[in-house]
């Protein structure tokens, strides 16, 4: 049975030549047992007729805010609440730009802005439009809102040019969405705490001691845990990243603040993942006013050791909790990583070695080896941080199931 059986789907169609494929996609949704409401932009109707779409969906197609003849109002808010999924296929560069920037000048975009359900977007356009930094930036914005981008395929385009921009085939769009809805939620009912990013330790109101952590790894882990059904609290140091959708994010600045917030959340959590690159030291006497530049150099700043969040909370853990730490090592990686299992009372430690290119701070990729307290370990090849996060979360699930 399809995971789409009984689901309410809004199929958004915009004005691109690939709109002819939307009829096939609509047919597949209906065959899978979904109830489909088509919302089409005025330009979309130039490419495929509402008659075809209403015949296939068994419902009148919505395009305007109200029917000119009857005055019947089409409520984008009601539609947005009705839907279990919204699929925009094809999504033109123009509609992508409007969705990314909230330009609600037609029924489809207002419905998009009102939708509370997962949104899937299948771009379709010429290769140069697709590659343009404006389109790429808008797609990244949509991703940052938690929308799912179904990447266009490479191939011959309507312009006869060959490249990336062809809307993904209807069968593959269906498979992508079915896969999303059939994904298991093995962490349903569990709470996870994730620390992420750097900490800033104030020297004075304008200067701090910090590090190059971007928070990407921790944010990806928070998202992966949430996708598997966990309730996630992300305690984040200063980062430039948008807050992950569906995750409760608490922003902090210093190690002491991170410890305070984490301590409050810790008892009620089943899983904790310490990804934060916590500054090891903080100035002993931060100044309340800006330290003036002096003729003679300041020779030293007295530092004090910061609390070790992982080790502190490792002391008060329960045996039912699963605690995961990170080890970023330049040498003797495996020995140092496994030592942390004991010294911080962890169940799992993830080693990323600075000896590997593409691993560590600031990159979009990482290469890890996971060790656990039962003596097992697993090495993974270089992958994107999102994929690495999936591997870590899968390992956590496997580890919990084996206990
Ligand atoms: O001791 P080291 O800094 O190498 O340990 C790294 C692990 O410990 C990471 O999981 C990091 O988040 C955590 N840690 C912490 N508080 C600190 C230092 C490290 O939670 N002050």
What are 328-378's pLDDT values in tens digits?
Answer: 888 888 999 999 999 999 999 999 877 667 666 667 788 999 999 999 999
Asked if residue 310 has its Cβ within 6 Å of ligand 1, the reply is: yes
pLDDT of 331 reads 86
Position in ligand 1 atom list of the atom nearest CA 324: 10
- The answer to whether residues 333 and 350 touch, using CB atoms and an 8 Å cutoff, is no
Active site residues: 211
Pairing, β 281-283 against β 231-236: unpaired
**pLDDT tens readout for residues 262-287:** 999 999 999 999 999 999 999 999 99
Q: Identify the weakest region by mean pLDDT among 67-76, 121-130, 165-174, 270-279.
A: 67-76
The structure tokens listed for 331 are: 């040498």
**pLDDT tens readout for residues 34-46:** 999 999 999 999 9
- Pocket probe for ligand 1: among 195, 199, 217, 274, the residue whose CB has the most ligand atoms within 8 Å is 274
Closest CA to 37 of 84, 98, 91: 84
CB proximity list for 63: less than 8 A, separation 6 or greater: 39, 40, 41, 42, 44, 45, 50, 107
Report which DSSP code applies to 292. Answer: P
The structure tokens listed for 289 are: 């006013």
Instruction: Report the separation in Å between the CA atom of 17 and the middle of ligand 1, taken as the mean of its atom positions.
Output: 53
């Amino acid at each position: 049975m399809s995971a789409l059986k009984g689901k309410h789907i809004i199929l958004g169609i915009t004005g691109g030549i690939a709109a002819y494929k939307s009829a096939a996609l609509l047919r597949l949704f209906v065959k899978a047992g979904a109830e489909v409401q088509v919302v089409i932009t005025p330009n979309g109707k130039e490419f495929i007729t509402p008659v075809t779409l209403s015949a296939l969906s068994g419902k009148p197609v919505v395009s305007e805010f109200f029917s000119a003849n009857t005055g019947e109002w089409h409520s984008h808010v009601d539609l947005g609440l009705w839907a279990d999924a919204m699929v925009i296929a094809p999504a033109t560069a123009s509609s992508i730009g409007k969705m990314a920037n909230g330009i609600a000048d037609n029924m489809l975009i207002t419905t998009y802005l009102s939708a509370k359900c997962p949104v899937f977007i299948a771009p379709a356009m010429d290769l140069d439009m697709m590659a343009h930094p404006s389109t790429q930036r808008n797609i990244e914005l949509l991703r940052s809102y938690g929308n799912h981008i179904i990447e266009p395929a490479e191939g011959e385009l309507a312009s006869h040019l060959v490249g990336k921009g062809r809307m993904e085939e209807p069968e593959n769009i269906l498979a992508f969405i079915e896969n999303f809805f059939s994904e298991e939620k093995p962490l349903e009912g569990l709470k996870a705490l994730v620390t992420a990013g750097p900490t800033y330790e104030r020297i004075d109101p304008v200067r701090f001691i910090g590090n190059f952590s971007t928070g990407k790894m921790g944010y990806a882990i928070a998202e992966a845990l949430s996708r598997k059904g966990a309730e996630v609290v992300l305690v984040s140091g200063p980062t430039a990243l948008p807050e992950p959708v569906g995750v409760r994010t608490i922003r902090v600045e210093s190690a002491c603040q991170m410890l305070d917030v984490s301590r409050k959340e810790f008892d009620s959590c089943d899983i904790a993942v310490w990804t934060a690159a916590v500054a090891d030291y903080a100035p002993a006497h931060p100044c309340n006013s800006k330290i003036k530049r002096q003729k003679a150099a300041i020779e030293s700043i007295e530092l004090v050791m910061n609390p070790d969040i992982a080790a502190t909370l490792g002391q008060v853990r329960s045996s039912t909790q699963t605690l995961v730490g990170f080890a970023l090592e330049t040498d003797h990686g495996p020995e140092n990583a496994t030592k942390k299992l004991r010294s911080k009372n962890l169940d799992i430690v993830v080693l990323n070695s600075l000896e590997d290119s593409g691993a560590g701070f600031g990159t979009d990729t990482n290469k890890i080896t996971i060790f656990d307290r039962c003596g097992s370990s697993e090495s993974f090849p270089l992958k994107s941080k999102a994929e690495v996060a999936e591997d870590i979360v899968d390992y956590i699930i496997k580890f919990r199931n084996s206990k």
